[in-house]
Chains A and B, each alone.
Chain A
Amino acid sequence: MPVEFGPDEFKTNERRTIVTRFWIFLFLLVPILGVGVFLWAPYAGVYLPQDVSTHGHKIDHLFTFILLLTGAVFIATEVVLVVFMWRYDRERNQDPVKFTHGSHNLEMVWTIIPAATLLFIAIYQMNAWAEVKIDRPDIPPTLKVTARQFEWRLQYPGPDGVLDTRDDIHTVNDLHIPVNEQILIHLESDDVLHSFFLPNLRIKQDAVPGSTIPVWFRATEIGAFDLVCAELCGWGHYKMKGRLTIESREDFENWLEQKRQEQEAVQ
Protein backbone atom coordinates (compact mmCIF):
# COMPACT_ATOMS: atom_id res chain seq x y z
CA MET A 1 0.00 0.00 0.00
CA PRO A 2 1.57 3.30 -1.06
CA VAL A 3 2.23 5.79 1.69
CA GLU A 4 0.34 9.03 1.59
CA PHE A 5 2.93 11.77 1.68
CA GLY A 6 2.49 15.42 1.23
CA PRO A 7 2.75 18.95 2.49
CA ASP A 8 2.02 17.78 6.02
CA GLU A 9 5.59 16.66 6.06
CA PHE A 10 6.56 20.30 6.42
CA LYS A 11 4.36 21.13 9.38
CA THR A 12 5.30 23.78 11.87
CA ASN A 13 8.56 23.59 13.68
CA GLU A 14 11.29 25.98 14.67
CA ARG A 15 13.69 24.99 11.96
CA ARG A 16 11.16 25.47 9.27
CA THR A 17 10.41 29.02 10.30
CA ILE A 18 14.05 29.96 10.09
CA VAL A 19 14.41 28.30 6.73
CA THR A 20 11.35 30.13 5.46
CA ARG A 21 12.79 33.43 6.56
CA PHE A 22 15.93 32.52 4.74
CA TRP A 23 14.06 31.99 1.46
CA ILE A 24 12.23 35.25 1.85
CA PHE A 25 15.51 37.01 2.46
CA LEU A 26 16.90 35.39 -0.69
CA PHE A 27 14.06 36.79 -2.76
CA LEU A 28 14.55 40.16 -1.14
CA LEU A 29 18.13 40.14 -2.35
CA VAL A 30 16.91 40.29 -5.94
CA PRO A 31 15.63 43.86 -5.89
CA ILE A 32 18.36 45.00 -3.50
CA LEU A 33 21.25 43.64 -5.51
CA GLY A 34 19.51 44.42 -8.78
CA VAL A 35 19.28 48.07 -7.91
CA GLY A 36 22.74 47.93 -6.40
CA VAL A 37 24.32 46.67 -9.58
CA PHE A 38 22.83 49.48 -11.60
CA LEU A 39 23.96 52.04 -9.05
CA TRP A 40 27.44 50.61 -9.07
CA ALA A 41 27.70 50.31 -12.86
CA PRO A 42 28.59 53.93 -13.68
CA TYR A 43 31.40 53.83 -11.13
CA ALA A 44 32.75 50.59 -12.55
CA GLY A 45 32.75 52.18 -15.97
CA VAL A 46 30.38 49.66 -17.46
CA TYR A 47 27.57 51.93 -18.35
CA LEU A 48 26.51 54.05 -21.29
CA PRO A 49 29.81 55.22 -22.77
CA GLN A 50 30.58 58.88 -23.36
CA ASP A 51 28.17 60.40 -25.84
CA VAL A 52 29.58 62.67 -28.53
CA SER A 53 26.58 63.10 -30.80
CA THR A 54 23.72 65.53 -31.00
CA HIS A 55 20.99 62.92 -30.83
CA GLY A 56 22.68 60.63 -28.31
CA HIS A 57 21.42 62.41 -25.25
CA LYS A 58 17.86 61.65 -26.32
CA ILE A 59 18.64 57.98 -26.46
CA ASP A 60 20.44 58.13 -23.13
CA HIS A 61 17.58 60.05 -21.66
CA LEU A 62 15.13 57.44 -22.90
CA PHE A 63 17.30 54.71 -21.49
CA THR A 64 17.38 56.38 -18.11
CA PHE A 65 13.70 57.13 -18.27
CA ILE A 66 12.81 53.51 -19.05
CA LEU A 67 15.30 52.36 -16.45
CA LEU A 68 13.62 54.46 -13.79
CA LEU A 69 10.17 53.43 -14.87
CA THR A 70 10.88 49.74 -15.13
CA GLY A 71 13.02 50.05 -12.03
CA ALA A 72 10.02 51.33 -10.14
CA VAL A 73 7.85 48.52 -11.48
CA PHE A 74 10.62 46.08 -10.68
CA ILE A 75 11.06 47.21 -7.11
CA ALA A 76 7.34 47.41 -6.53
CA THR A 77 6.54 43.96 -7.86
CA GLU A 78 9.49 42.25 -6.24
CA VAL A 79 8.79 43.88 -2.90
CA VAL A 80 5.13 42.96 -3.09
CA LEU A 81 6.19 39.40 -3.84
CA VAL A 82 8.47 39.32 -0.80
CA VAL A 83 5.92 40.99 1.45
CA PHE A 84 3.24 38.51 0.45
CA MET A 85 5.66 35.65 0.97
CA TRP A 86 6.34 36.99 4.43
CA ARG A 87 2.83 37.90 5.42
CA TYR A 88 0.99 34.95 3.98
CA ASP A 89 3.41 32.26 4.96
CA ARG A 90 1.58 29.19 6.18
CA GLU A 91 3.01 29.55 9.69
CA ARG A 92 2.61 33.25 10.07
CA ASN A 93 -0.78 33.74 8.53
CA GLN A 94 -3.42 32.92 11.16
CA ASP A 95 -6.29 34.35 9.13
CA PRO A 96 -8.41 32.11 7.00
CA VAL A 97 -7.48 31.97 3.36
CA LYS A 98 -9.19 34.65 1.33
CA PHE A 99 -11.33 32.50 -0.92
CA THR A 100 -11.70 34.69 -4.00
CA HIS A 101 -11.65 34.19 -7.74
CA GLY A 102 -10.41 37.63 -8.58
CA SER A 103 -11.65 41.11 -8.92
CA HIS A 104 -12.91 42.69 -12.05
CA ASN A 105 -12.02 46.17 -10.88
CA LEU A 106 -8.48 45.26 -10.02
CA GLU A 107 -8.04 43.62 -13.41
CA MET A 108 -9.19 46.82 -15.06
CA VAL A 109 -6.81 48.87 -12.97
CA TRP A 110 -3.79 46.81 -13.73
CA THR A 111 -4.61 46.60 -17.37
CA ILE A 112 -5.29 50.25 -17.94
CA ILE A 113 -2.41 51.72 -15.96
CA PRO A 114 0.31 49.71 -17.68
CA ALA A 115 -1.45 50.22 -21.00
CA ALA A 116 -1.33 53.96 -20.53
CA THR A 117 2.29 53.81 -19.40
CA LEU A 118 3.36 51.72 -22.34
CA LEU A 119 1.46 53.84 -24.81
CA PHE A 120 3.17 56.85 -23.34
CA ILE A 121 6.63 55.33 -23.79
CA ALA A 122 5.72 54.32 -27.31
CA ILE A 123 4.70 57.80 -28.32
CA TYR A 124 7.36 59.53 -26.28
CA GLN A 125 10.19 57.81 -28.10
CA MET A 126 8.97 58.29 -31.63
CA ASN A 127 10.76 61.59 -32.14
CA ALA A 128 14.13 60.17 -31.26
CA TRP A 129 13.58 57.31 -33.65
CA ALA A 130 12.50 59.62 -36.41
CA GLU A 131 15.55 61.76 -35.87
CA VAL A 132 17.95 58.85 -36.30
CA LYS A 133 16.24 56.74 -38.89
CA ILE A 134 13.54 58.67 -40.72
CA ASP A 135 14.38 62.37 -41.12
CA ARG A 136 17.17 61.95 -43.56
CA PRO A 137 19.12 65.17 -44.18
CA ASP A 138 18.97 66.41 -47.73
CA ILE A 139 22.69 66.63 -48.41
CA PRO A 140 25.12 64.75 -50.63
CA PRO A 141 26.79 61.82 -48.90
CA THR A 142 29.93 62.63 -46.96
CA LEU A 143 31.38 59.25 -47.59
CA LYS A 144 30.54 55.70 -48.50
CA VAL A 145 31.22 52.84 -46.11
CA THR A 146 31.49 49.36 -47.54
CA ALA A 147 31.67 46.49 -45.10
CA ARG A 148 33.31 43.27 -46.10
CA GLN A 149 34.76 40.29 -44.28
CA PHE A 150 36.48 41.54 -42.05
CA GLU A 151 37.20 45.18 -42.63
CA TRP A 152 35.58 48.53 -43.21
CA ARG A 153 36.31 50.18 -46.55
CA LEU A 154 35.76 53.88 -46.57
CA GLN A 155 35.47 55.99 -49.65
CA TYR A 156 35.54 59.78 -49.60
CA PRO A 157 34.70 61.92 -52.62
CA GLY A 158 37.83 63.46 -54.11
CA PRO A 159 38.28 67.09 -55.11
CA ASP A 160 35.27 66.91 -57.43
CA GLY A 161 33.05 66.30 -54.40
CA VAL A 162 31.24 63.40 -56.06
CA LEU A 163 31.33 59.80 -54.93
CA ASP A 164 32.17 56.88 -57.20
CA THR A 165 34.51 58.74 -59.47
CA ARG A 166 38.15 58.12 -60.22
CA ASP A 167 39.49 60.66 -57.76
CA ASP A 168 37.80 59.07 -54.75
CA ILE A 169 39.94 58.60 -51.69
CA HIS A 170 39.97 55.13 -50.17
CA THR A 171 40.93 54.08 -46.68
CA VAL A 172 40.47 50.94 -44.67
CA ASN A 173 39.25 50.87 -41.08
CA ASP A 174 40.23 54.49 -40.65
CA LEU A 175 37.14 56.64 -40.42
CA HIS A 176 37.65 60.40 -40.09
CA ILE A 177 34.86 62.87 -39.86
CA PRO A 178 34.72 66.59 -39.21
CA VAL A 179 33.22 67.71 -35.92
CA ASN A 180 29.95 69.63 -35.67
CA GLU A 181 28.88 68.90 -39.17
CA GLN A 182 25.99 66.91 -40.52
CA ILE A 183 27.39 63.66 -41.83
CA LEU A 184 25.56 61.41 -44.26
CA ILE A 185 27.01 57.99 -44.89
CA HIS A 186 26.00 55.56 -47.57
CA LEU A 187 26.35 52.14 -46.05
CA GLU A 188 26.87 49.08 -48.20
CA SER A 189 28.14 45.56 -47.86
CA ASP A 190 30.05 43.44 -50.32
CA ASP A 191 29.39 40.06 -48.85
CA VAL A 192 27.33 39.26 -45.76
CA LEU A 193 25.49 41.26 -43.12
CA HIS A 194 27.57 43.52 -40.93
CA SER A 195 26.55 46.23 -38.54
CA PHE A 196 27.99 49.69 -38.43
CA PHE A 197 28.15 50.44 -34.72
CA LEU A 198 29.58 53.63 -33.28
CA PRO A 199 28.92 53.23 -29.55
CA ASN A 200 29.90 56.77 -28.70
CA LEU A 201 27.72 58.25 -31.41
CA ARG A 202 24.76 56.02 -30.51
CA ILE A 203 24.62 54.82 -34.10
CA LYS A 204 23.93 51.31 -35.23
CA GLN A 205 22.86 50.16 -38.64
CA ASP A 206 23.17 46.79 -40.33
CA ALA A 207 24.88 46.79 -43.70
CA VAL A 208 22.86 44.67 -46.08
CA PRO A 209 24.46 43.35 -49.27
CA GLY A 210 22.59 44.69 -52.24
CA SER A 211 21.20 47.79 -50.55
CA THR A 212 22.51 51.26 -49.92
CA ILE A 213 21.36 52.38 -46.52
CA PRO A 214 21.76 55.97 -45.39
CA VAL A 215 23.15 56.74 -41.93
CA TRP A 216 23.39 60.24 -40.58
CA PHE A 217 24.61 61.97 -37.45
CA ARG A 218 26.48 64.96 -36.15
CA ALA A 219 29.45 64.61 -33.84
CA THR A 220 30.04 67.17 -31.13
CA GLU A 221 33.44 66.42 -29.71
CA ILE A 222 36.93 65.84 -30.98
CA GLY A 223 38.47 62.51 -30.17
CA ALA A 224 39.12 58.95 -31.23
CA PHE A 225 36.58 56.18 -30.72
CA ASP A 226 35.77 52.62 -31.71
CA LEU A 227 33.97 51.49 -34.80
CA VAL A 228 32.51 48.10 -34.00
CA CYS A 229 30.95 45.45 -36.22
CA ALA A 230 27.86 44.39 -34.35
CA GLU A 231 26.38 41.73 -36.59
CA LEU A 232 27.83 38.25 -36.77
CA CYS A 233 29.65 38.08 -40.09
CA GLY A 234 31.83 35.01 -39.83
CA TRP A 235 34.74 33.76 -37.82
CA GLY A 236 36.57 37.09 -37.92
CA HIS A 237 33.60 39.06 -36.66
CA TYR A 238 35.40 39.82 -33.41
CA LYS A 239 38.32 41.51 -35.10
CA MET A 240 36.37 43.62 -37.54
CA LYS A 241 37.09 46.86 -35.80
CA GLY A 242 37.76 50.29 -37.11
CA ARG A 243 38.84 53.56 -35.65
CA LEU A 244 36.71 56.66 -35.67
CA THR A 245 38.51 59.97 -35.52
CA ILE A 246 36.47 63.08 -35.02
CA GLU A 247 38.50 66.18 -35.81
CA SER A 248 38.15 69.79 -36.78
CA ARG A 249 37.29 70.66 -40.35
CA GLU A 250 40.86 71.81 -40.90
CA ASP A 251 42.48 68.62 -39.60
CA PHE A 252 39.99 66.62 -41.55
CA GLU A 253 40.86 68.33 -44.79
CA ASN A 254 44.55 68.00 -44.14
CA TRP A 255 44.13 64.36 -43.48
CA LEU A 256 42.07 63.91 -46.61
CA GLU A 257 44.64 65.75 -48.68
CA GLN A 258 47.41 63.66 -47.22
CA LYS A 259 45.55 60.48 -48.04
CA ARG A 260 44.94 61.71 -51.55
CA GLN A 261 48.61 62.33 -52.08
CA GLU A 262 49.56 58.97 -50.67
CA GLN A 263 47.11 57.39 -53.02
CA GLU A 264 48.46 59.26 -56.01
CA ALA A 265 52.00 58.32 -55.12
CA VAL A 266 51.04 54.67 -55.30
CA GLN A 267 49.30 54.94 -58.64
Chain B
Amino acid sequence: MTPPNDRTNGGAGLNDDIGEAKRLELYRLQVVIRESEQRAFDLFLQNLVKGTSHLSLGQEAVAAGFAGAMKKGDLSFCTYRGHAHTLARGVSVEKVLGELMQKDNGLMRGKGGSMHLTSEEHGVMGSYAIIGAHLPIACGAAWRAQYRGDKDVSVCFFGDGTTNIGAFHEALNFAAVWKLPVVFVCENNLYMEYTPIKDVIPIPQPAADRASAYGLERILIDGNDADVVYRTAQKAFARARAGEGPSLIECLTYRHSGHSRADPAKYRPEGELEEWKKRDPVKIYRERLKQFGVKEDAIAEIDASVRKEVDDATEACKAAPPPPLDIISTDVYADGGWAWRN
Protein backbone atom coordinates (compact mmCIF):
# COMPACT_ATOMS: atom_id res chain seq x y z
CA MET B 1 0.00 0.00 0.00
CA THR B 2 1.59 3.27 -1.11
CA PRO B 3 1.58 5.64 1.84
CA PRO B 4 -0.37 8.67 0.71
CA ASN B 5 1.66 11.80 0.61
CA ASP B 6 -0.95 13.94 2.35
CA ARG B 7 -1.25 17.64 1.74
CA THR B 8 -3.66 18.00 4.61
CA ASN B 9 -3.50 15.97 7.75
CA GLY B 10 -6.42 13.87 8.93
CA GLY B 11 -7.56 14.43 12.48
CA ALA B 12 -4.27 13.55 14.08
CA GLY B 13 -3.50 16.94 15.54
CA LEU B 14 -7.04 17.24 16.86
CA ASN B 15 -7.56 20.14 14.51
CA ASP B 16 -11.25 20.76 14.95
CA ASP B 17 -11.84 23.30 12.20
CA ILE B 18 -14.38 20.90 10.74
CA GLY B 19 -16.70 20.84 13.70
CA GLU B 20 -18.96 18.20 15.13
CA ALA B 21 -22.03 18.84 13.01
CA LYS B 22 -20.10 18.46 9.77
CA ARG B 23 -18.25 15.44 11.16
CA LEU B 24 -21.50 13.72 12.00
CA GLU B 25 -22.75 14.50 8.51
CA LEU B 26 -19.59 13.06 6.95
CA TYR B 27 -19.95 9.98 9.08
CA ARG B 28 -23.58 9.55 8.25
CA LEU B 29 -22.91 9.87 4.55
CA GLN B 30 -20.26 7.19 4.71
CA VAL B 31 -22.53 4.85 6.61
CA VAL B 32 -25.38 5.46 4.18
CA ILE B 33 -23.08 4.50 1.32
CA ARG B 34 -21.61 1.53 3.15
CA GLU B 35 -24.99 0.13 4.11
CA SER B 36 -26.61 0.79 0.76
CA GLU B 37 -23.78 -0.74 -1.20
CA GLN B 38 -23.66 -3.73 1.09
CA ARG B 39 -27.38 -4.10 0.61
CA ALA B 40 -27.03 -3.80 -3.13
CA PHE B 41 -24.59 -6.67 -2.98
CA ASP B 42 -26.92 -8.80 -0.87
CA LEU B 43 -29.79 -8.08 -3.23
CA PHE B 44 -27.60 -9.08 -6.12
CA LEU B 45 -26.91 -12.41 -4.41
CA GLN B 46 -30.67 -12.80 -4.11
CA ASN B 47 -30.96 -12.12 -7.82
CA LEU B 48 -32.90 -8.93 -7.22
CA VAL B 49 -30.39 -6.51 -8.71
CA LYS B 50 -30.55 -6.64 -12.48
CA GLY B 51 -28.01 -5.63 -15.06
CA THR B 52 -24.61 -4.70 -13.73
CA SER B 53 -23.55 -2.76 -10.65
CA HIS B 54 -20.33 -1.19 -9.49
CA LEU B 55 -19.96 -0.71 -5.76
CA SER B 56 -17.92 1.83 -3.85
CA LEU B 57 -17.40 -0.25 -0.73
CA GLY B 58 -14.13 1.01 0.70
CA GLN B 59 -14.27 4.28 -1.22
CA GLU B 60 -16.92 6.00 0.92
CA ALA B 61 -14.65 8.73 2.23
CA VAL B 62 -14.10 10.27 -1.18
CA ALA B 63 -17.80 10.58 -1.90
CA ALA B 64 -18.61 11.83 1.59
CA GLY B 65 -15.72 14.28 1.78
CA PHE B 66 -16.55 15.93 -1.51
CA ALA B 67 -20.29 15.97 -1.07
CA GLY B 68 -19.81 17.32 2.41
CA ALA B 69 -17.95 20.28 0.98
CA MET B 70 -20.40 20.92 -1.87
CA LYS B 71 -23.08 23.58 -1.72
CA LYS B 72 -26.52 23.47 -3.24
CA GLY B 73 -26.05 24.27 -6.90
CA ASP B 74 -22.70 22.55 -7.15
CA LEU B 75 -22.84 19.81 -9.70
CA SER B 76 -21.64 16.21 -9.58
CA PHE B 77 -20.63 14.23 -12.66
CA CYS B 78 -20.17 10.57 -11.89
CA THR B 79 -19.25 7.30 -13.49
CA TYR B 80 -21.02 3.94 -13.55
CA ARG B 81 -19.45 3.63 -10.08
CA GLY B 82 -21.75 6.40 -9.02
CA HIS B 83 -24.10 5.08 -6.36
CA ALA B 84 -21.88 6.54 -3.65
CA HIS B 85 -21.73 10.02 -5.11
CA THR B 86 -25.43 10.03 -5.83
CA LEU B 87 -26.32 9.02 -2.29
CA ALA B 88 -23.84 11.51 -0.91
CA ARG B 89 -25.71 14.36 -2.57
CA GLY B 90 -28.85 13.37 -0.70
CA VAL B 91 -30.70 11.16 -3.14
CA SER B 92 -32.78 8.62 -1.23
CA VAL B 93 -31.59 5.07 -0.81
CA GLU B 94 -34.90 3.87 -2.14
CA LYS B 95 -34.51 5.64 -5.42
CA VAL B 96 -31.01 4.29 -5.88
CA LEU B 97 -31.83 0.73 -4.97
CA GLY B 98 -35.03 0.99 -6.99
CA GLU B 99 -32.99 1.81 -10.07
CA LEU B 100 -30.60 -1.07 -9.40
CA MET B 101 -33.59 -3.37 -9.08
CA GLN B 102 -35.09 -1.81 -12.21
CA LYS B 103 -38.30 -0.90 -10.51
CA ASP B 104 -40.71 1.93 -11.14
CA ASN B 105 -39.55 3.71 -7.98
CA GLY B 106 -36.02 3.92 -9.34
CA LEU B 107 -34.35 7.25 -9.90
CA MET B 108 -34.91 6.99 -13.66
CA ARG B 109 -37.69 4.42 -13.44
CA GLY B 110 -35.41 1.77 -14.87
CA LYS B 111 -34.71 3.60 -18.08
CA GLY B 112 -31.13 4.39 -17.21
CA GLY B 113 -29.99 1.56 -14.98
CA SER B 114 -27.36 1.47 -12.27
CA MET B 115 -24.62 3.00 -14.42
CA HIS B 116 -26.50 6.19 -15.19
CA LEU B 117 -27.84 7.48 -11.87
CA THR B 118 -29.02 11.04 -12.33
CA SER B 119 -30.85 13.42 -10.05
CA GLU B 120 -30.97 16.87 -11.48
CA GLU B 121 -32.66 18.28 -8.39
CA HIS B 122 -29.73 17.14 -6.25
CA GLY B 123 -27.13 18.39 -8.72
CA VAL B 124 -26.23 14.89 -9.85
CA MET B 125 -25.92 15.68 -13.53
CA GLY B 126 -25.59 12.16 -14.70
CA SER B 127 -23.44 9.10 -14.35
CA TYR B 128 -21.52 8.19 -17.43
CA ALA B 129 -20.50 4.74 -18.52
CA ILE B 130 -18.11 5.53 -21.33
CA ILE B 131 -14.75 6.06 -19.70
CA GLY B 132 -13.72 9.70 -19.69
CA ALA B 133 -16.75 11.12 -21.48
CA HIS B 134 -17.94 13.20 -18.56
CA LEU B 135 -14.75 15.14 -18.00
CA PRO B 136 -15.39 17.45 -20.97
CA ILE B 137 -19.06 17.58 -20.04
CA ALA B 138 -18.17 18.81 -16.57
CA CYS B 139 -16.04 21.47 -18.25
CA GLY B 140 -19.10 22.63 -20.13
CA ALA B 141 -21.19 22.98 -17.01
CA ALA B 142 -18.34 24.95 -15.46
CA TRP B 143 -18.14 27.11 -18.54
CA ARG B 144 -21.80 28.02 -18.07
CA ALA B 145 -21.08 29.02 -14.46
CA GLN B 146 -18.15 31.13 -15.61
CA TYR B 147 -20.16 32.70 -18.41
CA ARG B 148 -23.09 33.55 -16.22
CA GLY B 149 -21.12 34.50 -13.15
CA ASP B 150 -22.78 31.71 -11.19
CA LYS B 151 -20.65 30.60 -8.29
CA ASP B 152 -21.24 26.90 -8.46
CA VAL B 153 -18.53 24.35 -9.05
CA SER B 154 -18.66 21.25 -11.25
CA VAL B 155 -17.09 18.23 -9.65
CA CYS B 156 -16.13 15.30 -11.82
CA PHE B 157 -15.32 11.89 -10.34
CA PHE B 158 -13.47 9.15 -12.19
CA GLY B 159 -11.06 6.30 -11.67
CA ASP B 160 -7.34 5.79 -12.06
CA GLY B 161 -7.78 3.95 -15.35
CA THR B 162 -9.60 6.92 -16.83
CA THR B 163 -6.43 8.98 -16.85
CA ASN B 164 -5.21 7.17 -19.95
CA ILE B 165 -8.06 7.99 -22.27
CA GLY B 166 -7.95 10.88 -24.68
CA ALA B 167 -10.88 12.77 -23.22
CA PHE B 168 -9.03 13.10 -19.90
CA HIS B 169 -6.25 15.00 -21.61
CA GLU B 170 -8.55 17.18 -23.68
CA ALA B 171 -10.66 18.11 -20.68
CA LEU B 172 -7.75 18.92 -18.40
CA ASN B 173 -6.11 21.14 -20.97
CA PHE B 174 -9.37 22.82 -21.88
CA ALA B 175 -10.31 23.50 -18.26
CA ALA B 176 -6.88 24.87 -17.48
CA VAL B 177 -6.76 27.19 -20.48
CA TRP B 178 -10.26 28.52 -19.88
CA LYS B 179 -9.70 28.59 -16.11
CA LEU B 180 -12.96 26.82 -15.51
CA PRO B 181 -14.48 26.23 -12.09
CA VAL B 182 -14.26 22.46 -12.30
CA VAL B 183 -12.66 20.02 -9.90
CA PHE B 184 -11.42 16.71 -11.28
CA VAL B 185 -11.35 13.95 -8.72
CA CYS B 186 -9.44 10.79 -9.51
CA GLU B 187 -10.34 7.94 -7.20
CA ASN B 188 -7.26 5.80 -7.48
CA ASN B 189 -8.41 2.42 -6.22
CA LEU B 190 -5.34 0.73 -7.75
CA TYR B 191 -7.30 -1.19 -10.36
CA MET B 192 -9.13 -0.69 -13.58
CA GLU B 193 -11.47 -3.61 -14.20
CA TYR B 194 -9.10 -6.43 -13.37
CA THR B 195 -5.74 -5.00 -14.34
CA PRO B 196 -3.68 -2.96 -11.86
CA ILE B 197 -3.22 0.63 -12.90
CA LYS B 198 0.52 0.37 -12.30
CA ASP B 199 0.79 -2.04 -15.24
CA VAL B 200 -0.42 0.58 -17.71
CA ILE B 201 1.25 3.84 -16.70
CA PRO B 202 4.90 4.84 -16.85
CA ILE B 203 4.73 7.01 -13.73
CA PRO B 204 3.72 6.20 -10.17
CA GLN B 205 0.54 8.27 -9.86
CA PRO B 206 -1.86 8.30 -12.78
CA ALA B 207 -3.39 11.71 -12.08
CA ALA B 208 -1.09 13.57 -9.70
CA ASP B 209 1.97 12.92 -11.84
CA ARG B 210 0.20 14.53 -14.76
CA ALA B 211 -1.01 17.71 -13.12
CA SER B 212 2.04 19.65 -14.26
CA ALA B 213 1.20 18.88 -17.89
CA TYR B 214 -1.77 21.18 -17.38
CA GLY B 215 -0.01 23.75 -15.26
CA LEU B 216 -1.76 22.45 -12.16
CA GLU B 217 -0.55 21.71 -8.67
CA ARG B 218 0.24 18.09 -7.82
CA ILE B 219 -2.37 16.94 -5.30
CA LEU B 220 -2.28 13.41 -3.93
CA ILE B 221 -4.24 12.65 -0.81
CA ASP B 222 -5.40 9.90 1.47
CA GLY B 223 -8.78 9.08 0.04
CA ASN B 224 -9.78 6.95 2.99
CA ASP B 225 -9.86 9.79 5.44
CA ALA B 226 -12.98 11.87 4.97
CA ASP B 227 -11.47 14.83 6.82
CA VAL B 228 -8.53 14.97 4.47
CA VAL B 229 -10.84 14.71 1.51
CA TYR B 230 -13.18 17.33 2.89
CA ARG B 231 -10.41 19.85 3.51
CA THR B 232 -8.89 19.29 0.12
CA ALA B 233 -12.27 19.68 -1.52
CA GLN B 234 -12.90 22.94 0.28
CA LYS B 235 -9.64 24.40 -0.95
CA ALA B 236 -10.27 23.34 -4.51
CA PHE B 237 -13.81 24.69 -4.46
CA ALA B 238 -12.64 28.01 -3.04
CA ARG B 239 -10.08 28.24 -5.80
CA ALA B 240 -12.72 27.46 -8.40
CA ARG B 241 -15.19 29.98 -7.02
CA ALA B 242 -12.49 32.60 -6.92
CA GLY B 243 -11.99 32.21 -10.67
CA GLU B 244 -8.58 30.62 -10.28
CA GLY B 245 -9.41 27.61 -12.36
CA PRO B 246 -9.56 23.87 -12.09
CA SER B 247 -7.92 21.40 -9.74
CA LEU B 248 -6.96 17.80 -10.23
CA ILE B 249 -7.05 15.76 -7.05
CA GLU B 250 -5.89 12.19 -6.79
CA CYS B 251 -7.40 10.30 -3.87
CA LEU B 252 -5.73 7.06 -2.87
CA THR B 253 -8.30 4.47 -1.95
CA TYR B 254 -9.31 0.88 -2.52
CA ARG B 255 -12.43 -0.97 -3.46
CA HIS B 256 -13.30 -3.79 -1.12
CA SER B 257 -15.44 -5.63 -3.64
CA GLY B 258 -14.84 -6.67 -7.23
CA HIS B 259 -15.04 -4.29 -10.16
CA SER B 260 -18.63 -5.12 -10.90
CA ARG B 261 -21.18 -7.58 -9.68
CA ALA B 262 -19.69 -10.54 -11.48
CA ASP B 263 -16.11 -10.05 -10.35
CA PRO B 264 -14.71 -12.08 -7.45
CA ALA B 265 -11.48 -10.01 -7.68
CA LYS B 266 -9.16 -13.00 -7.68
CA TYR B 267 -6.43 -10.90 -9.26
CA ARG B 268 -5.62 -9.19 -5.99
CA PRO B 269 -2.39 -10.23 -4.35
CA GLU B 270 -2.87 -12.12 -1.14
CA GLY B 271 -3.28 -9.92 1.88
CA GLU B 272 -3.87 -6.71 -0.06
CA LEU B 273 -7.53 -6.44 0.79
CA GLU B 274 -6.83 -7.18 4.45
CA GLU B 275 -4.18 -4.45 4.57
CA TRP B 276 -6.59 -1.94 3.14
CA LYS B 277 -9.40 -3.04 5.40
CA LYS B 278 -7.25 -1.92 8.29
CA ARG B 279 -7.69 1.51 6.79
CA ASP B 280 -11.42 1.12 6.17
CA PRO B 281 -12.74 4.66 5.86
CA VAL B 282 -15.81 4.00 7.98
CA LYS B 283 -13.69 2.48 10.72
CA ILE B 284 -11.22 5.35 10.55
CA TYR B 285 -14.02 7.83 10.81
CA ARG B 286 -15.71 6.12 13.68
CA GLU B 287 -12.42 6.37 15.55
CA ARG B 288 -12.12 9.98 14.53
CA LEU B 289 -15.52 10.79 16.00
CA LYS B 290 -14.55 9.15 19.25
CA GLN B 291 -11.30 11.08 19.24
CA PHE B 292 -13.32 14.25 19.08
CA GLY B 293 -15.51 13.16 21.93
CA VAL B 294 -18.59 11.92 20.14
CA LYS B 295 -20.37 9.36 22.29
CA GLU B 296 -20.71 5.73 21.24
CA ASP B 297 -24.44 6.16 21.65
CA ALA B 298 -24.65 8.96 19.13
CA ILE B 299 -22.70 6.87 16.68
CA ALA B 300 -24.86 3.83 17.27
CA GLU B 301 -27.91 5.94 16.73
CA ILE B 302 -26.70 7.05 13.34
CA ASP B 303 -25.85 3.47 12.45
CA ALA B 304 -29.28 2.32 13.49
CA SER B 305 -31.17 5.06 11.67
CA VAL B 306 -29.23 4.43 8.49
CA ARG B 307 -29.84 0.73 8.80
CA LYS B 308 -33.52 1.41 9.14
CA GLU B 309 -33.51 3.70 6.12
CA VAL B 310 -31.84 1.01 4.06
CA ASP B 311 -34.19 -1.68 5.36
CA ASP B 312 -37.22 0.43 4.62
CA ALA B 313 -35.87 1.26 1.19
CA THR B 314 -35.29 -2.40 0.50
CA GLU B 315 -38.81 -3.29 1.42
CA ALA B 316 -40.21 -0.44 -0.64
CA CYS B 317 -38.19 -1.57 -3.63
CA LYS B 318 -39.20 -5.17 -3.26
CA ALA B 319 -42.82 -4.08 -3.14
CA ALA B 320 -42.51 -1.59 -6.00
CA PRO B 321 -43.93 -2.52 -9.38
CA PRO B 322 -41.77 -2.73 -12.46
CA PRO B 323 -41.86 0.34 -14.69
CA PRO B 324 -44.85 0.64 -16.98
CA LEU B 325 -44.09 -0.11 -20.59
CA ASP B 326 -45.46 3.15 -21.90
CA ILE B 327 -42.41 5.07 -20.73
CA ILE B 328 -40.28 3.22 -23.25
CA SER B 329 -41.27 5.75 -25.85
CA THR B 330 -41.05 8.91 -23.79
CA ASP B 331 -38.20 11.38 -23.52
CA VAL B 332 -36.22 10.44 -26.57
CA TYR B 333 -36.91 13.97 -27.72
CA ALA B 334 -37.84 17.05 -25.74
CA ASP B 335 -41.45 16.97 -26.88
CA GLY B 336 -41.73 13.94 -24.67
CA GLY B 337 -41.95 11.51 -27.52
CA TRP B 338 -39.80 9.46 -29.81
CA ALA B 339 -41.05 10.47 -33.25
CA TRP B 340 -38.29 10.79 -35.81
CA ARG B 341 -40.82 11.36 -38.61
CA ASN B 342 -43.98 13.26 -39.20
The answer to whether A and B belong to the same complex is no
